[in-house]
Structure 1
Amino acid sequence: MTWTRVRREAGTLWVGAVPDHPEWTALVEAEGAVLTWDVPGGQRLPSAEVHHPERAADWLWQVYGAASEALLAVAEGSEREVELADEGGPLAEPLAALARLGWLAAWWPASHVAGVPALSAALLAAEAAVVAADVEAVLDDPEAVARLLGRAAPAVHALAALADHPELGSEARALSERLAEVADDFGAELPAPAPLVADRGGWALAAGGEPAGGVTAMSGGGPLDWRRLPPGVVDAAAGLRWSLVRRDGRLLLDVAVPRAPLAYAERAGRATLRARADAVEFPLDAAEDGGAFGGAAEVPPSALLVPAPRRTVTVWAPGYAPEDEAPPDGDALAERQEPVLLHAEERLTAGGVSFAERVAALVDPEVA
């Protein structure tokens, strides 16, 4: 049994507290409430932001248990400490599984440097579609299952390729059959797509040393803020590299960001990144060999007066993150991101929980 607080704040009822950082947060938007889990913290029962108690009361007891004091506190609108049964109600496990699959799609830290392989977005969507179909009645979005089925179409090929795998075959066949059933129930078609083509160049690190045709005057590195970048595009643990290069009589700031391991060409090809430093802003384009995003811009000679440890380079994806946020603090980012990397490494060692994680741990990622 665990204790948590139920409170009212500005017309909203809260069961427990949301995780400290978005990178740690798995969530499900349900009828009248948003449920959240602290993923690295191993939270079993969710916290809840109940913005419509009447709608949430129809199903919330199935998360916290029929005799839950939390449900009574929510219904009464009171503030109190409540005791929750660790196992929760019948919806606790499937909603947690759906939230975790969403977290894996958004925050899984694929990294060559940390040895964390990329997960198949299609397999994650296939698993999520199957789970979402079982809890569709309590989801806030009536089109959630249909959208997941659309993203799951490429998984048909991956599951067929895995059907004869000695350890994963039976699970692949079962997921394939269940996915077909859900698609039929929701009137969706799952065409047999062409095989996914993984880009092995994504495993390459960004080129080091001095850029061609120039002399490096100063170089250094910096952190990447995952909140500003689409999932599965850059190496989550590598960080960025920058160089001040004298070339053709000009001083250039050169920035390189390694791509995620085995990022699919379609995903990485759609990504548009930009860098900002020394009062200049410029695009970072994907290298032809697939190893990194890179770009350069001319900076004034005074840029050489900034000590390397004090130089801040910010990288973000336009349209995905605000352009005017303050530069990331390296220590703060490490505090937020290190638990996620450790969590991913532990799950791979333990065999993971989702099928996509088990595939990544056991199979050449090109298969899925």
Structure 2
Amino acid sequence: MPERRCAVTRVEDGTVRIAGPSAGPAFTRAVLDVAGAVLTWPVLGPTGLPAAEIHDAGQAQQWLWAVYGERVAAAVDAVASGPPAAELTPPGRPTALAEGAARLALGHWAARWWPTSYLDGIPALEPDVLGLELAALTNECQQLLDESVELEGFELLEEHLAALDPLIRWRQSADPPRLLDRVLRLIDDAADHAGLDGEALRRLRSALHQDHGPTATPLDLAELFRRHQGFALAAGALRTANSRVIARGSGTNDWCRYPPGFVDAAENAVSWTAYALGADRRIEVEVVADIAAPLSGVRLAAEVHVDGGPPNRFPLARRDDVWTGRANLDSPASTTPSLEVGILLPGFDPGPGADDRAAREAVRALARHRLDVATAPHDSEAAHPEPFLAEIAAAAAAEEDF
């Protein structure tokens, strides 16, 4: 088997790269801001050492050796001020810090890109449970981080404390996951490091110190972490009387064009219908909302191209469990228009990307696989990669909710 090599290069602006940037759309990359650099792992490929974009080689030296090994750390230092490139052999296996960083990055990916879909049967991850585990992982990876990112970890802990009591109850149940005790101890350590206190944290410390072990009482995770789905898909469009349908279809659901929690992640979540009203033409767009979508104050927009022409945007309002809106079409009455429909959040949208349907389907397959792993016995080889606590809870609730 050929020896794996690692390229370290300096680009024109002085940034030092290890192994180069990862390809693919944003939702296929797990990214972590660290001291002096940004690390990137492919979500859909094998997890190994990350690619790195190092903008402060001196600051990055606090962790480079512990992630890539001493030879790579020395090469980065040399390339930052000397020859613009080096090639060498990195460690054969990721270090403990590299594995922890990869898991933290994947957790942040799940918080941003997890493909929650009622239509596809992929349950949401409980944000408070995931947030607490991210706080625990941030504390574990503090060697990598600068003060601002460490502070974000403390803020995560404070923001998601609502899940702490349910996690304590889970730990005391008949069959807690092997990961749970370690996460809770990291949370306790992070709270101590941040100087946080409160009833929930005091109950955690008491439970960890007593440590009577699990009880024989089974626990209903679906009830413990229940999120009210509230789905009863709205029927009927905004169709106007005396109109006739001339075309209908599905639009593009580009995950990159709106924030998380706005739209069901299914490929067919965006649908449209074109009507004729005498000589006029009108389009109505419906988008299945995510369970966390805001009810008011924010409006998505539909972007419609007619016969390949310039985009026409119009607002979509939340109505029950759909975003919906309508607009007139600039289209001759004598023809059936060719329509391309997308959705976006104005002010957030980076612009339309490439056709990433295959990548989105691969992410859905990854989510289903991780949920399957989350239901495997704790001692099974299938339990690798180890699921997040939020994935275990979501998998336990999936049958009932979907």
Q: Which residue of 1 aligns with 2:364?
A: 341
Give, in whole Å, the separation in 2 of the partners of 1:306 and 1:247.
13
Determine helix, strand or coil for the equivalent of 2:370: helix
Partner of 2:344: 316
Q: Does 2:143 correspond to 1:116?
A: no
The equivalent of 1:155 in structure 2 is: 163
Aligned-residue Cα RMSD (Å) equals: 3.1
Aligned residues, how many? 350
Give the distance between the partners of 1:301 and 1:130, measured in 2 at CA. 56
Task: Output the TM-score relative to the length of structure 1.
Answer: 0.83
Query: What CA deviation, in whole Å up to 9, does each residue of 1:175-196 have, x standing for no partner?
Result: 445424422331335676xx98
The answer for the alignment partner of 1:46 in structure 2 is 50
Shift, 1:75, TM fit: 1.6
What CA distance in whole angstroms lies between the structure 1 residues aligned with 2:283 and 2:169? 45
Match of 2:9 in 1: 7
SS at 2:89's partner residue?
Answer: strand
| Partners of 2:35 and 2:256 in 1: CA distance | 27
Partner of 1:18: 21
Letter in 2 for 1:274: A
1:207: how far off? 4.2
Q: Unaligned regions of 5+ residues in structure 1, if any?
A: none
Secondary structure in structure 2 of the residue aligned to 1:26: strand
1:85 counterpart (87, 91, 95): 91
Give the distance between the partners of 1:38 and 1:170, measured in 2 at CA.
Answer: 26
Q: Does 1:354 align with 2:384?
A: no
User: Could you say what secondary structure the match of 2:356 adopts?
Assistant: helix
User: Aligned to 2:314, which of 282, 291, 307?
Assistant: 282
CA gap of 1:283–1:150, structure 2 versus 1, over 3 A, is: farther
Alignment of 1:114-153 (within 5 A): 114-140=120-146, 141=148, 142-153=150-161
Distance 2:333 2:278 in 1: 17
| Cross-structure match for 1:102 | 108
Point out the structure with max Rg over C-alpha: 2
Residue of 64, 68, 75 corresponding to 1:64: 68
1:177/1:208 CA distance change after superposition, 3 Å: farther
Moved more, 77-86 or 174-183: 174-183
Query: Structure 1 residues 175, 91: closer, same or farther in 2, change over 3 A?
Result: closer
Distance (whole Å) between structure 1 residues aligned to residue 323 and residue 252 of structure 2? 15
- 8 Å contact 1:119–1:356 — kept in the other structure? yes
For residues 190 and 233 of structure 1, the distance between their equivalents in structure 2, rounded to whole angstroms, comes to 33
1:236 to 241, 265, 284: 265
Change (3 A) 1:72 1:181: closer
Question: CA offsets per residue over residues 292-319 of structure 1, 9 Å max, x none?
Answer: 2111123345388354xx4111211123
Task: List per-residue Cα deviations over 1:24-73 (Å, max 9, x = no partner).
Answer: 1111111111111011112311111111111111210000123xx32222
Q: Which residues in structure 2 correspond to 1:106-255 (within 5 Å)? A: 106-140=112-146, 141=148, 142-159=150-167, 162-163=170-171, 166-168=174-176, 171-172=179-180, 175-176=183-184, 178-188=186-196, 198-202=227-231, 204=232, 207=235, 211=239, 213=241, 215-239=244-268, 240-246=270-276, 251-255=281-285
1:210/1:245 contact within 8 Å kept: no
Residue pair 1:210, 1:216 contacting (<8 A) in 2 also: no
Query: 2:349 & 2:39 partners in 1: Cα distance?
Result: 24
Q: Which moved more, 1:269-278 or 1:246-255?
A: 246-255
Match of 1:129, SS state, is helix
Amino acid in the other structure paired with 2:86: R
For 2:348 and 2:22, how far apart are their aligned partners in 1? 22
Aligned CA distance change for structure 1 residues 189 and 196 (closer, same or farther; 3 Å): farther
Aligned partner letter, 2:230: G
